[in-house]
Amino acid sequence: MEMSIFFKMLLFLYTLLLLHQLHTKAGNTLCRMMGDPKYPLISKNGDIIIGALFPVHSTETLPSFEFTKKPQPLSCSSVNLRDFRLAQIMIFAIEEINRSESLLPNVSIGYRIYDTCGSRLSTMSAIMGLMNVQEFGVGDKCTAQSPLHAIIGDSESTATVILSRTTGPFKIPVISHSASCECLGNRKDYPSFFRTTASDYHQSRALAYIVKDLGWSWVGAVNSDNDYGNYGMAIFLKIAQEEGICVEYSVKFYRTEKEKLQKVIDTIKKSTAKVIIAFVSFLEMGLLIDQLSIQNITGLQVIGVKSWITSENYITPNSFRVLGGSLGFAMRKINIEEFSDYATKAFWETTIPCLHTEGNSSQYALNCRRYEDLLVLKNYNEDVTEHRYSANVYEAVYAVAYSLHSLLKCKEQEGCEKGLTIQPQQVVEALKKVNFTVKFGDRVWFDSTGATVAQYEVVNWQQNSDGSFQFKPVGYYDASLPPDQRFVLNTENIIWAGGKLQKPRSVCSESCPPGTRKATQKGRPICCYDCIPCADGEISNETDSNNCKQCPGEYWSNAEKNKCVLKAVEFLSFTEFMGIVLVFFSLFGVGLTVLVAFLFYSKKDTPIVKANNSELSFLLLFSLTLCFLCSLTFIGRPTEWSCMLRHTAFGITFVLCISCVLGKTIVVLMAFKATLPGSDVMKWFGPAQQRLSVLTFTLIQVLICVLWLTISPPFPNKNMKYYKEKIILECSLGSTIGFWAVLGYIGLLAILCFILAFLARTLPDNFNEAKFITFSMIIFCAVWITFIPAYVSSPGKFTVAVEIFAILASSISLLFCIFAPKCYIILCKPGQNTKKHVIGKTPAKSY
């Protein structure tokens, strides 16, 4: 273990010695250029040098790599007019500062502008050319400081990342006019980077806001496969998810990847989303437009970004057929005074070196060969006022000038201290503090990430009546304003895709109407859902409701399931069919009983009426009338009084009725016992005793009912357990013991009556009433025995109907079984209504 540590220490010391030796050799090595130097496209010497990288050309041609001879330099073609204008505005700003007597008064600014050709390879080559010094004095060593004080560029985020990482160790400040990748805001990785544009964080948020504001929840997404597109799209996708926006597909490609571009086109053709978010760099967008035109893919609402949305190159009759009506965020359009004239006159007269060459035409051609495609633009100025990044480049140059102005301790009358040595790190620190206003009114300062405030215009691709095209402003996004005022969109001024005036719809699933809820489709985004009707008792009163809400206890959902309404209250009413039928039978029983009473009263002196105590017969008829009438108390809306009345009236009247029957049964038994020799039993059960027995039996039931009503009386109750959709308004028993005590007492008397009547059924008589009492008690008991399970199992108002039916059935059975035979004799067999026939001895028939 100790040996291992020893060897590691030796290895560490050896490494330190080796690095020291290499550093010493490098310090003593004379500088010489390795390979051919990379010369700037346009340059000018000065006391201060500002470098710049612009993709002035957009197409790069690679030489053949045969490895048998030295490769030819990379060649560029296809002028990128936008970035050429940016190079011009940089020179214009520098010349303006050089003429100024208040800003860097006695200091001249030079520049070196390199063409990156829009490729990573050329960008790296241009950076190396920019960092190197082309001229070396005799004996110069490789420890010299770079003459650059700042670098303006690049136009693209990926190229700017390469630039910033390469220049980072040298602390040279890089100021980009359009590299908006969020990644460049990391001060740890890019401490010397600044930009006169905002981070794409704001643009990505604004894209999500515009999609949300226009009600689109189903979009496609295409981005460049570079830092600009990848970072920007990542932020958009994150915010889109937070805002409930679903992305059907997210595809990307790079300008050199034709297969991926074709895959993007195929994906767009197959998709159902009508809106596409195109977070695409300037050069990739040109390729995408070409393919969309070739494939004739139209009718899609494209939402673009500032890199391409206001490019004059792309708004042509052919591209407008595909992208007409596109919306997007653009840099604000600012007109810089005098630049238009400078771009067409002074620039060509003072900047392009071949135009100043004197001598023969061959020499002229040699010097101008690299500028021949740019010279075509010499008299073209129609696009000058349309370029929206010009102000950013202008502000970047002035930011460098103001930082150097403070470092060189410049004073308007005395000038600047030109002898001071300015380190790049000093320029970086000075840039962090700049705060000035340019001539067109913008205030320039950098935040903690090195960026400026996000301010975008929302533009719409429209065609004028004369056939020309325009980028019509229809809104804005300003991050400096309060959150609720940052984004404004005037939809009435927008012409949508395909020249339509109506906003296109782009949803995976149509909105769920009130009364339904959203159910996400398995394996698909949350915007793809089915509309499921709310369950019974639940509602949704909003469009696109995620859940249905349960109605409160006494409420139920309506048919549309969008409103809670009061539940239907159910009880046995007098107006419904079943109530009417039961009332009819109840009154029919009352009427029949009254008729029997009238008949008996009219024949009260006949033997058949006087037999077995006519007083009990009339009392029985009276109690039966009450029994029929008490059934009416069970019909109608239950109230506190009706609930107490119905059960007590039922219990007392039935006990009165059964007591009368029991009394008649005992009279029958006593009457036949009295016929035995030496029996005086009738004196113990005469009329007085009969009345007393009926009264005693009835008072016992009255006592039970009083106790029931005192301890826990019946009360009206809303039963919401049996039916969910309606309320059963019923009389709760209060004390179930009280209820079953009442029924039990009635049953006890009925069984006693049945037993006595059954014993007396064989007594000899032509008219033995015990037989009919026995039969009536059988029916009575059968009705009430079947009543119990029917009562327990019947729901709602049917419970009441079953109880009424039992009352009516048992009452009618008593009326018919006891009084029908007597009525038959009175009405149909008057000859048998004699004392002789009633007490006549005949052989008894078994029953």
Amino acid at 679: S
Contacts of 648 (CB under 8 A, 6+ apart): 705, 708, 709
Query: What is the strand order of the sheet 568-570 is part of?
Result: 568-570, 726-732, 715-719
**Neighbour tally for 510: CB within 10 Å:** 10
Mean pLDDT of 236-261: 93
**Neighbour tally for 80: CB within 10 Å:** 25
Residue 712 has pLDDT above 50, yes or no: yes
Could you give the CA distance from residue 629 to residue 377 in angstroms, rounded to a whole number? 113
Whose CA is closest to 140, among 21, 24, 20, 33? 33
Q: Tell me, what's the pLDDT at 421? A: 86
Query: 129 to each of 33, 100, 146, 370, 479, how far by Cα in Å?
Result: 11, 30, 11, 17, 38
Average of per-residue pLDDT values in the chain: 84
Q: What is the pLDDT of residues 661-700, one digit of tens each?
A: 887 777 767 766 555 555 555 555 567 777 788 888 889 9
Q: Tell me, what's the pLDDT at 10? A: 43
Could you give the CA distance from residue 236 to residue 241 in angstroms, rounded to a whole number? 8
Residue 374 has pLDDT above 90, yes or no: no
Could you give the CA distance from residue 471 to residue 462 in angstroms, rounded to a whole number? 6
Could you give the CA distance from residue 633 to residue 75 in angstroms, rounded to a whole number? 108
Could you give the CA distance from residue 319 to residue 675 in angstroms, rounded to a whole number? 127
Contact by Cβ (8 Å): 833, 826: yes
Q: What is the pLDDT of residues 763-791, one digit of tens each?
A: 655 445 667 777 777 887 777 777 777 77
Most confident of 129-143, 719-733, 737-751: 737-751
- Supply the pTM of this predicted model: 0.65
User: What is residue 381's three-state secondary structure?
Assistant: coil
Could you give the CA distance from residue 491 to residue 386 in angstroms, rounded to a whole number? 23
Rg (CA), the chain: 54
What's the gap between Cα 30 and its chain centre? 69
Q: Tell me, what's the pLDDT at 7? A: 40
Residue 86 has pLDDT above 90, yes or no: yes
Mean pLDDT of 615-640: 87
Residue 361 has pLDDT above 70, yes or no: no
Query: pLDDT band at 490, cuts 50/70/90?
Result: very high
Residue 20 has pLDDT above 70, yes or no: no
Q: Determine how β-strand 564-566 pairs with β-strand 327-331.
A: unpaired
Q: Tell me, what's the pLDDT at 350? A: 86
> Looking at beta carbons, which pairs linking 714-722 to residues 24 or more positions away fall under 8 Å?
714/643, 714/644, 714/646, 714/647, 714/739, 715/640, 715/643, 716/638, 716/639, 716/640, 716/642, 716/643, 717/638, 718/554, 718/569, 719/796, 720/553, 720/554, 720/567, 722/795, 722/796
Query: pLDDT band at 54, cuts 50/70/90?
Result: very high
Q: Tell me, what's the pLDDT at 11? A: 43
- For 147-259, strand residue ranges (E) read 148-152, 174-176, 193-195, 218-224, 246-253
What are the tokens at 736?
A: 């179930």
598 exposed, middle or buried (CB, 10 Å; 0-12, 13-18, 19+)?
A: exposed
Q: Determine how β-strand 57-61 pairs with β-strand 75-79.
A: antiparallel
Helix (H) / strand (E) containing 668: helix 640-674
User: What is residue 77's three-state secondary structure?
Assistant: strand
